Amino acid sequence: MTFLPKWLMFLKGKEVIIANALIAMLTIGGQQLFSFFTFSCPCHVGQNLFYGLAFLGVPALILLIVGYALNNQTWRLVTGKSSPLWEETTPNRLLQCKLICFVLCSITGRALVAPVTWLAVTLINGSYYVCAVSEYVPVHYYGVNLNVTASEHRKILAAFPCSQLVPLELTRARDEVIILLRYQSQVAGWLVIAVVVITVFLSYCLASCLSPLSFLHFRYWSSYVDNEHELFDEATEEHSRLYAMQHVKKFFGFVPGSKNVKEIRIPSLREWQAISGLAFLKQVDDEHYDYSLLHDWALKESANGKFLKTDEDSFIRSEGPSPQQHPAAKQECV
């Protein structure tokens, strides 16, 4: 019997944790690169807030949508809910609602990894928050008396994230304001991390308490589901290849990898046109679909036509007159 190394045994069954950690690290690296190459606070009244909030929220929203889109459970939920078998497999409507809520929570938990990481890292960095709220900080607490109008006052504060735009007499006040805003931003970032960690831990505890399965039974069930998905994907790949092979063979007269090919089929112009173009999933009856134009052609048309021998005595046979009656046709194929 072959035994896996200890580190592989430790990692087995923890694919979700590893995937989430990898997503978090990639998000952190992407955020650092994104900030370095693209972020530049405008330091202008009315623009700082929108610019800072856009860099805080828009990437997080995009990552959330991508997280939903890349999760197979999302599409299982969308397509499975509209299946006619849905009512038969889950006749209890309360059970349906519980199942939908459970799946949604699972999908959302996976999808939130990247956006929460982005939000936490950007808050700990502090640059976006400083840019967004600098113009709203009262500076009279720092012993600065500005004999200017309210609009000019906000204009000066909006320039605080850009040190080169701040007057020399306000340098100290500017430094203190930046320190305060970074403190607020970093505290908010660590609070986000703490809330997420506690929520995840309590969710796992609650799910374990409400689960009808014991710890070992749950591990067995998880292993079974993983193996089923793996075997199903392998069978899908092999089944679809064999199914497509029948249609390709009907069109060309052979399939790649065949040995001792005696003859090949010569498709007609009309047949080439029939399998060319844009293909849409087409329902042919209540239970079956045509998956491509070649599939549709193979089901509707016969395999008769012109064939070419692959040995030295090549000739064409067709439904029409023989090649002996039409020497021009024989010359064309040769």
Q: Does 6 fall in a domain?
A: no
Report which of 162, 179, 170 is spatially closest to residue 144, judged by C-alpha positions.
170
Amino acid 173: pLDDT: 82
What value does the mean pLDDT take over residues 171-176?
A: 83
**Does the pLDDT at position 28 exceed 50?**
yes
Report which of 92, 118, 47 is spatially closest to residue 100, judged by C-alpha positions.
92
Q: Does 137 fall in a domain?
A: yes
Q: Does 156 fall in a domain?
A: yes
In this structure, the answer to whether residues 97 and 132 fall within a common structural domain is: yes
Q: Does 222 fall in a domain?
A: no
Amino acid 322: pLDDT: 44
In this structure, the answer to whether residues 144 and 77 fall within a common structural domain is: yes
Which of 153, 178, 210 is where one domain is finished? Answer: 210
In this structure, the answer to whether residues 112 and 196 fall within a common structural domain is: yes
What is the span of the domain harbouring residue 249? 233-303
Q: Does 227 fall in a domain?
A: no
In this structure, the answer to whether residues 51 and 176 fall within a common structural domain is: yes
Task: Return the biggest CA–CA distance within the chain.
Answer: 109
Pairs from 239-244 (Cβ < 8 Å, separation ≥ 24): 244/295
Which of 166, 195, 210 is where one domain is finished? Answer: 210
In this structure, the answer to whether residues 174 and 239 fall within a common structural domain is: no
- Count of domains forming the chain: 2
Q: What is the pLDDT of residues 216-256, one digit of tens each?
A: 888 888 889 889 999 999 999 999 999 999 999 999 988 88
Q: What is the pLDDT of residues 144-173, one digit of tens each?
A: 666 667 777 788 888 888 877 777 777 888
Q: Does 297 fall in a domain?
A: yes
CB atoms under 10 Å from CB of 62, counted, come to 13
In this structure, the answer to whether residues 101 and 240 fall within a common structural domain is: no
In this structure, the answer to whether residues 145 and 289 fall within a common structural domain is: no
In this structure, the answer to whether residues 205 and 290 fall within a common structural domain is: no
Amino acid 331: pLDDT: 38
Task: Establish how many alpha carbons lie within 13 A of residue 253's alpha carbon, considering only the half-sphere containing its beta carbon.
Answer: 16
In this structure, the answer to whether residues 21 and 170 fall within a common structural domain is: yes
Among 59-73, 137-151, 309-323, the least confident range: 309-323
**Does the pLDDT at position 307 exceed 60?**
yes
DSSP H/E element including 244: helix 215-252
Q: Does 220 fall in a domain?
A: no
Q: What average pLDDT is seen over the chain?
A: 79
In this structure, the answer to whether residues 53 and 125 fall within a common structural domain is: yes
In this structure, the answer to whether residues 66 and 101 fall within a common structural domain is: yes
Q: Does 59 fall in a domain?
A: yes
In this structure, the answer to whether residues 176 and 286 fall within a common structural domain is: no
**Does the pLDDT at position 75 exceed 80?**
yes
Beta strands across the sheet bearing 306-309: 263-266, 306-309, 316-317
Amino acid 287: pLDDT: 77
**Does the pLDDT at position 92 exceed 70?**
no
Phi-psi region at 253: left, alpha or beta (left = phi > 0; alpha = psi -120 to 50): left
